Amino acid sequence: MTENGPFLRPGGTHDAEAIASLIEIVNRRPIDRARLEASLADAPSVMAVDDEGLAGFAYGRRFAPDVVELQNVLLAPRWRGRGQGRRLFAEVERAMSAAGYRAVVGANSLLHPGADPEHCAAARGFWLRMGFRVLMATGGTVVLGKWLPHPTETR
Ligand SMILES: CC(C)(COP(=O)(O)OP(=O)(O)OC[C@H]1O[C@@H](n2cnc3c(N)ncnc32)[C@H](O)[C@@H]1OP(=O)(O)O)[C@@H](O)C(=O)NCCC(=O)NCCS
């Protein structure tokens, strides 16, 4: 942990079990570990670590050669509402940009098993504050996107 919040470090496939456990504890839903590992192998991710262990993460997967899909950003409740989500997102955005991606997309869907309108709206609020724009909406799903800064702008 740092005085600014949890310690942030790059993630990898070895983090899959800790991420899955955190999702299962916080969101009370199971997660497909094989898909999670494939994502972690595919695109940059960032882990937030504190004295209690894994405190958050952000990961995605390749969507196109120069576009990445941000699949999940989550902070343990003990760190929410203190700017740490923005800090985590900024770090994964930097890593994605450094990996050569030029844009990031994401889906906010009410149609995922267990999704509820309140949490979906909260997540969408966060995405919009992070600079995403709505690209399309089906009624059940909102697709958002954002240009990534050029790597020289994020150093
Ligand atoms: C989304 C999440 C990572 C945000 O983390 P956080 O530390 O609480 O967020 P921050 O304090 O850094 O807030 C960042 C910005 O998002 C905004 N924001 C955060 N939660 C919001 C909400 N529920 N509705 C609208 N805006 C929200 C804040 O107002 C802030 O805006 P500002 O910096 O312009 O003032 C955290 O709440 C979480 O883990 N939620 C559950 C998982 C989830 O929904 N993930 C997102 C979709 S994958």
CB of residue 8 inside a 6 A radius of ligand 1: no
Instruction: Please write the tens of the pLDDT for every residue from 60-93.
Output: 999 999 999 999 999 999 999 999 999 999 999 9
According to the model, what pLDDT value does residue 11 have?
Answer: 98
Instruction: Please write the tens of the pLDDT for every residue from 91-104.
Output: 999 999 999 999 99
CB of residue 122 inside a 6 A radius of ligand 1: yes
According to the model, what pLDDT value does residue 136 have?
Answer: 98
Task: Walk across the sheet containing 133-137 and list its strands.
Answer: 7-10, 45-50, 53-64, 67-75, 103-109, 141-147, 133-137
Which domains are seen in the chain, by residue range? 7-149 (3.40.630.30)
According to the model, what pLDDT value does residue 46 have?
Answer: 98
Cα–Cα distance, 77 to 33 (Å, whole number): 22
According to the model, what pLDDT value does residue 154 have?
Answer: 59
Cα–Cα distance, 113 to 54 (Å, whole number): 24
Nearest CA to ligand 1 atom 2: 85
CB of residue 10 inside a 6 A radius of ligand 1: no
Nearest CA to ligand 1 atom 18: 126
Mean pLDDT of each 10-residue bin along the chain, 155 residues long: 88 97 90 95 97 97 98 97 97 97 97 91 97 97 96 69
Single pTM value for the model? 0.95
CA atoms within 13 A on the CB side of 123: 21
